[in-house]
Structure 1
Amino acid sequence: MGMISEFKEFVSRGNVVDLAVGVVIGAAFGKIVTALVDGIVMPSIGALTGGASVSDWKHVIRPAHLDAAGKEIAEVAIKYGLFIQTIIDFLLIAFVIFLFLKAYNRVRTPAAAPAVAEDVLLLREIRDSLKSRQP
């Protein structure tokens, strides 16, 4: 029974629940940004570069061909367009998260400084008074 109660305590902590919510929201947000990149950004870049989809950009090392038996052998290519699209996707996600955190930090109210006890204030006044009397 000890392990179950420890697990309940672990799960009920605010940090674990907050982390779980953050992961779920982050996954959903990643899908939104991926849809933005795939549906709007990349077709726009493709239109500027002659109509080819960026994810289809590649450097063919060996083209597809038929062997002696008539069986097709697939091409060997470096697909750098997909890599570029993934980098753009990551940069957009990172930028939007940066903007969100910047706005969150601006809205968040800073914690109030703890009040200084009255006896500490009195001791500081005495200290400052003694310092001003010394030559």
Structure 2
Amino acid sequence: MRPFTHKNSIGTFFDVLTDPSGSGTPDIAARRGATARQDAIISVLSGDVNLDQLPEFAASLRELLTSSVQLIVLDLSRVTVFSPNAASVLVNFVSFVEGGGKRLVLFRPSRTVRTVLDTLHLTHLFEIQQTEDELLLDLPD
């Protein structure tokens, strides 16, 4: 069992996606000359999201709602276990995001996450992007 973790970064969307350190984790603090405008938050989720981790998973999502940014991106590429209950939490979260006038993007969901969402016929509820290029092209100017 891999513990559930999350890391949030806020910044301009390009800066959040940039990984100057090569660590595989977005690191806007390492970028000099980033603009002060803060228009996106990216949350990198990893590990197991099953029944035991649901309270922590839900809390990490609620934390994102307190931000003033209009775009919330969940990087799900490192999620190794994703239960149907976790999918239910995600469905509730998207309704809160949209109700608050924000936009949610699921970014690079792992095969496990995709399988659960596909099996439950939930993929149509989410905007899903697989590459940084897709994500950047889809952003409003």
TM-score range with shorter-chain normalisation? under 0.3
TM-score (norm 2): 0.23
Compare the two structures and name the one with the higher helix fraction: 1
Query: Which of the pair has the greater relative contact order for Cα pairs under 8 Å at 6+ separation?
Result: 2
Query: Greater strand percent: which structure?
Result: 2
Q: Which has the larger radius of gyration?
A: 1
